[in-house]
Chains A and B, each alone.
Chain A
Amino acid sequence: MIDPIEPPRRKNPLLRTRLPASPPRARSRTSHGFTRAAAEGRFMLQRCEACGAFAYPAREACPACLSVDLAFVDAPRRGALLAETTARVPSDVYFRERAPWRIGLVKMDCGPTMVAHLHADCVEGAPVLMSFQLDKSGQAVAFARPEGETPNMADDRQWREMTADPKFRRVLVTNGRSLIGQEAVAALKAAGAKTVFVGVAEPWRPFAGEQLLRGQQGIELVTLDASDEKSVTDLAADIGGKVDILVNTTEYVRPGGLLDRRGTSIARDEIDQAYLGFINLAQAFGPAMRMRGADGVNSSAAWVNILSVHALANWPAFGAYSASQAACLSLSHCLRAELRPGGVKVLNLFTGPVDNEWFQTVPPPKVAPRAVAQAIMSGLRGGLEEMYVGDVAEEIRQRLAANPKAVERELDK
């Protein structure tokens, strides 16, 4: 059983902020099958198509029958902890700073034996559940935790290195005008975030839900117009050093594609809000977040983007909007690479049409803003990079994997 983590004290200004170190990065190309699994919160192993044996670590041929027909598939997570050891003086800088560090050998029910990082409550001989997690280098590592819930389970020191749990952290939700933004604020508070800063552009315009946000303990309304460089840098000057998680809830949805629109002014607004807004936020808040990745219990931890799944496949009815989302998706990969040295995760949530005013005439299924907020929480707590929220997003993901051309034709209706 582990003790709950304490709320972090204020920083001692006499001490240097410890810079983030990264755990070892090298992986084989095949091993990125695990990276993908970890990014999506799945547990996938290679399985031989010929004899059905599971293999681990990643291989080019089946260890049982030598078939080269190995595919990554979702695998049973259960195993038993065979042996454990504690690294006390590791040679690697990252682990040395975090020593002692427990690792163990887990015999999986489905066959292979895996070396894994251990949750503190794992006991030798007892069953464990295995997952792949993204470490501070963004690489997949195996992580074993007890099969059942244990007290303060999420507060485990080694687990918290793999996740971006909002507990005790300070979060900036960039757009408090949107329903998703408001639901995210409520969910983050419920998840134990210390402070949620809520960005409001053009505060002279009243908006629905404003009264709920005002005057609540731990919620601070701040003036933020992501599309305005000065507004973003001004806010970063105030709070940039204490934003541990940034949730980009920019929302600028307008119907229309190319030929039935006149001119570029709406497209320009879409780009200003979504794409340039992203750049403004990244340039203003990214450097401090990258620098504070090892800054204690409330180190910087994650950046969350909420993207339309039509970033992946253009939906002509909202064609220009889809393109703005595709631009943001591309940018998010750049941001992920640039934040990686700080160990800061970039979580992309892909949604189908959200149940808001702009998709009013779109038939269901639509994603409830609350479902998006809940997905953000589970993504942060699980340390994920990619999530597909709702039926439409999940369906498009699967159909894209099967036949992108079919998706293109079928979105044209």
Chain B
Amino acid sequence: MQSKNLLELAGAVSSGAVRVVDLTFTLSPDFPVIVLPPEFGQAAPVRIQEISRYDGRGPAWYWNNVTFGEHTGTHFDAPIHWFTGKDLPNNSVDTMPAKDMIAPACVIDCSAGAAQDPDFLLTVPLVEAWEAKHGRIPERHWVLLRTDWSKKGWRDYANLRDDGAHTPGPNAAVMKWLVEQRGIIGFGTETIGTDAGQAGHFEPPYPAHHFLHGAGRYGLQCLCNLDELPATGAVIVASPLKIQNGSGSPLRVIALVSAN
């Protein structure tokens, strides 16, 4: 690609011919995090502590100390996050190839199904139906599952009941198929995890984590504004913090979308 094409892209972003859609929730202490039984180690919640705010602690400046777990807020999962990806090369956020941080996306709209059933599952036939309309999912594309889940209040968003969370996600077969038959670069959701709320009971448990990371692919979760993306043609920029040997990180996810 010639450098003038890159400049053209920058110009299109600046002019609005390419729209930049922010797919990120604000990183805040009140955003729901993954719930594990309390006897397990817990993700540190997001905490923002003022160092100074134009006051006696620092008269001219405002800044904070921030703490959070790697898997809080809108965040990225690297292959090392799951046991299936633990022995892969370059499997952490600091060693993953930088070029994987920019890739196109296919957006599968399942908002109607998820509205009907909080345990809605994406299946191979549903993806095949999508492909019949929009074409085969190309290799090294993100598949983003649109459910409009990000529009819910926090309680409905987490949707915890006494038998666990009830939130939509992929079934096991479709994850294996997307990874092996379509060669996707990663899978993204609006919910707290890439897997469905009840995915601990699937075979294998947490199939999105299992198959994605086992094949060196990535996960994105807690995305929003997926309804502003076209079914095909958006380009996702997702560059996690370069945490040493990090299993993931909160990040700013943006999508570049042609305005016409």
Contacts and interface: CB of A to CB of B under 8 A. Distances in A.
Given A202-B32, A204-B158, A227 B47 contact: yes
Contact of B160 (A205, A225, A228, A266): A205
A206 B160 contact: yes
B23 to A, nearest CB: 21
A230 B35 contact: no
Given A206-B160, A265-B44, A269-B42, 11 more contacts: A202-B30, A203-B154, A204-B32, A205-B35, A205-B160, A206-B155, A223-B30, A230-B29, A265-B42, A268-B44, A272-B47
Interface of A: 202-206, 223, 225, 227-231, 265-266, 268-269, 272
Given A229-B49, A268-B44, A204 B29 contact: no
A206 B164 CA distance: 11
Contacts of B154: 203-204
Closest 8 A-B residue pairs measured CB to CB? A204-B154, A204-B155, A228-B29, A204-B158, A204-B32, A229-B49, A206-B160, A265-B41
Interface in B191-233: none
Contacts of A227: 45, 47
Given A228-B47, A230-B48, A269-B42, A205 B158 contact: yes
Nearest to A228: B29
A230 B29 CA distance: 8
Nearest to B42: A269
B149 interface: no
Instruction: Indicate the member of B30, B41, B155 with the most A CB atoms within 10 Å.
Output: B30
A229 B47 contact: yes
B180 interface: no
B39 to A, nearest CB: 8
A206 B42 CA distance: 18
Interface in B150-194: 153-155, 157-158, 160-161
Nearest to A206: B160
A230 B32 CA distance: 16
A203 B155 contact: yes
A225 B30 CA distance: 9
Contacts of B47: 227-229, 272
Interface residues of B, number: 19
Contacts of B161: 206
A211 B35 CA distance: 21
A268 B68 CA distance: 12
Contacts of B131: none
A101 B35 CA distance: 58
B45 A228 contact: yes
B50 interface: yes
Nearest to B157: A204
Contacts of A230: 29, 48
Given A203-B154, A229-B48, A266 B41 contact: yes
A231 B35 contact: no
B221 to A, nearest CB: 16
Contacts of B157: 204
A225 B29 contact: yes
A268 B161 CA distance: 28
A143 to B, nearest CB: 43
Contacts of A272: 47
Contacts of B155: 203-204, 206
A202 B34 CA distance: 12
Nearest to A357: B38
A202 B154 CA distance: 9
A227 B49 CA distance: 11
Nearest to B154: A204
A228 B158 CA distance: 20
Contacts of B50: 229
Nearest to B31: A204
Contacts of B160: 204-206
Contacts of B158: 204-205
Instruction: Indicate the member of B29, B32, B35 with the most A CB atoms within 10 Å.
Output: B29
Nearest to B32: A204
B41 A231 contact: no
A231 B29 contact: yes
A231 B44 CA distance: 16
B175 to A, nearest CB: 27
B48 A231 contact: no
Interface string B20-54: 00000000011010010000011011011110000
Nearest to B47: A228
